[in-house]
Structure 1
Amino acid sequence: MAEFWRADPWGYRLAFVGLAVLMLFLKLLPLGNTAGAFPGPDILLCFMLAWMMRRPDFLPVWLIVAVTLTEDLILMRPPGLWTALVVMATEFLRSRTALTRELNFVVEWLLASGLMLAMLLAYRLAFMLALLPQPPFGFAVVQVIWSILAYPVIVGLSRLAFDLRKPATGEVDDYGRRL
């Protein structure tokens, strides 16, 4: 099965879209939505960051925009704000592919955590500047903390289920291109 995934980046792209649809479906289900309940992690964001750290060529920017903008529209968030923040974070990681390839997991986890915190603060700042009502800060922080704690699990699932790993230095694909 691992050969199927390595054969073509389109397999990974289809798997990512499938995961995004599944995550969106689970967010829309009315399960455990009692008042005052703790929010869960943003698993889709964890998948995006984990996949961008490992193989940024599998997630083109147009796919990230399409998935995140669709999520914005369906979840009735301000259209484009979260999308712009996710695109900035993923493109930040894409521009540092050579650096993230050499990072050990703890430093990678800290980098992803810092990006999640920066995205939270930028999102809240945009809401504050636009004078929009915001959910309590504590709930947003709890969601980010859950996302930070879920990141290693998502990385492990990506490695086990999709054989998604960082390419070794000097590794080439089937066409002889450097990864």
Structure 2
Amino acid sequence: MAEPLQARVWLFRTAFVGLALGLFFVRVLPLGTEAGRWPGPDLLLCLILAWVTRRPDYLPALLIALVVLAEDLLLMRPPGLWAALVLLASEFLRSRAALTRELSFVVEWALISGLMVALLLGYRLIFALAFLPQTGFGFAMVQTLASILCYPLVVGLSWLALNLRKPAMGEVDAYGRRM
């Protein structure tokens, strides 16, 4: 009985890496390079937060750190800063998995929105403390708002395409532990 559950966990981890690679590819394409365009949402962040909220056992911390660190290197951001912040946010959600299981979607969306805004402010605060140049606050806030608005779409697509849902009461993980 444990083998199908373990296979499902590895299938989702592989799917996550595949989706992340696809998002990396789309982000480096030279689309919309003219100035004054609206920033797109951070779909990888939405995907990580949605999956950790729904099934924390599918995304281990090391996998999240490695994928976001690869994104940092690919997008030429300070290596590890965004990865560390996203990892802190995902571990915050993971530690509250039993609590978030019983939340309605609107409350969950508000929690995720607050986390995204906190990530934005933390990232900008660290940049300010290090006297690093950064984009305008309005531009960064529009990207965060776009991510907040895309979160329900990511959750819906994860549910429809991959049947990723919150665990039921009494459900066990791949190791036989209650979730």
Contact conserved, 2:54 with 2:166, CA < 8 A, in 1?
A: yes
Q: What CA distance in whole angstroms lies between the structure 1 residues aligned with 2:113 and 2:148?
A: 6
**Residue number in structure 1 paired with 2:10:** 10
The whole-number CA distance in structure 2 between the counterparts of 1:64 and 1:174 is: 19
Percent of aligned pairs with the same amino acid: 65
Q: Over aligned residue pairs, what C-alpha RMSD do you find?
A: 1.5
Q: Does 1:167 align with 2:160?
A: no
Q: How does 1:51-90 map to 2 (within 5 A)?
A: 51-90=51-90
Any idea what SS the aligned residue of 1:58 has? coil
**Letter of the structure 2 residue corresponding to residue 107 of structure 1:** V
Distance 1:175 1:130 in 2: 43
Q: How many residues of Structure 1 are paired with residues of Structure 2 in the alignment?
A: 176
Q: Which runs of 5+ in 1 are unaligned?
A: none
Runs ≥4 in structure 1, deviation > 6 angstroms?
none
Distance 1:26 1:96 in 2: 32
The 5 Å alignment of 1:1-150 reads: 7-150=7-150
Distance 1:54 1:128 in 2: 34
Q: Indicate conservation of the 8 Å contact 1:5/1:11, yes or no.
A: no
Does the aligned pair in 1 maintain the 2:85–2:119 contact within 8 Å?
A: yes
Unaligned runs of 5+ in 2: none
Distance 1:43 1:71, change over 3 A: same
Judge conservation of contact 1:68–1:82 (CA < 8 Å) in 2.
yes
Partner in structure 2 of residue 151 of structure 1 = 151
How far has the Cα of 1:36 moved from its partner? 1.4
Q: Which amino acid aligns with 1:82?
A: W
How many Å separate the matches in 2 of 1:18 and 1:104?
29
- Kept after mapping to 1: 8 A contact 2:56/2:94: yes
Cα distance in 2 between the residues matched to 1:83 and 1:134 = 17
What is the rounded CA distance, in whole Å, between the counterparts of 1:125 and 1:12 in structure 2?
34
- Residues 5 and 12 in structure 1, CA contact (< 8 A), matched pair in contact too: no
Provide the rounded CA distance (Å) in 2 between the counterparts of 1:67 and 1:91.
15
SS of the residue aligned with 1:57?
A: coil
1:172 is displaced (CA, Å) by 2.8
For normalisation by structure 2, the TM-score amounts to 0.94
Q: What is the CA deviation profile of residues 41-80 of structure 1, one whole-angstrom value per residue up to 9, with x for unaligned ones?
A: 0000000000011000000001001100000001000001
Change (3 A) 1:85 1:174: closer
